[in-house]
Homo-oligomer: A and B are copies of this chain.
């Protein structure tokens, strides 16, 4: 846990090619790997950094998970995303001097600390710079998809989208099973999707009752990904209570890609 050695999350880390902690990469000689970040342990619920505070470092996530929370000038609060091991917290686009959101640990969490000076130094490398910017662009794209989802999709679609995304991230991290554990509360999910916690809970139960998933508290298992994708794409009126007996051969979805 507090062992500074390479963790599995390192293999997905943005800094893996320049970090001493990361396992050697086959393709590169790794002649120079000057980055040896310190580590930081954050207990569940605590902030890794806070919105508005100056950016002094970025934080590759090693263990645990976090949520990003944005607080608007009028005091409205909204979750804008979740992060898993391998993600880098605190990367601000456009050379922002201050964090645009807060990051709160969803559980006891460990992350690396990469000072901005080190980051800036490495940004001199074109390849590295490009990959950092690609990550930033991906984040921006995600937020836009969230905006469209919240702005024009139904509750069931939004939740299906989130589940598919969480599953995709889980698999990208090597999870071969379909079981995942939700680190975030129903309230967090509701905030992200622009719903209430009751709606999220009901929807999860409904998904389960029609055989799309199984849920018990925070243990979740995706059973029918295609079905979820259909819900996401809204090809499916999503049976209110009991599925209309006529199951029309679960049609394929042209674009099931979540997020």
Residues of A within 8 A of B (CB): 70, 72-76, 78, 80, 93-96, 100, 130, 133, 136-137, 140-141, 143-153, 191, 193-194, 232-233, 255, 257
Contacts and interface: CB of A to CB of B under 8 A. Distances in A.
Contact of A74 (B76, B133, B232): B232
Given A70-B144, A78-B151, A147-B150, 15 more contacts: A70-B148, A72-B144, A72-B148, A73-B145, A74-B233, A74-B255, A75-B255, A76-B148, A78-B148, A93-B94, A93-B136, A93-B140, A100-B137, A143-B144, A146-B147
Contact of A147 (B73, B80, B233): B80
14 contacts: A72-B148, A73-B257, A74-B233, A78-B151, A78-B152, A93-B137, A94-B140, A95-B130, A96-B137, A100-B137, A100-B140, A147-B147, A147-B150, A151-B193
Per CB-CB distance, the 10 closest pairs between chain A and chain B, nearest first, are: A151-B194, A94-B136, A94-B133, A72-B148, A150-B151, A78-B148, A94-B137, A76-B148, A93-B93, A147-B147
Contacts of A255: 73-75
Given A100-B144, A147-B146, A153 B76 contact: yes
A63 B137 CA distance: 30
A156 to B, nearest CB: 14
A143 B145 contact: no
A15 B224 CA distance: 53
A96 B83 CA distance: 23
Contacts of A141: 100
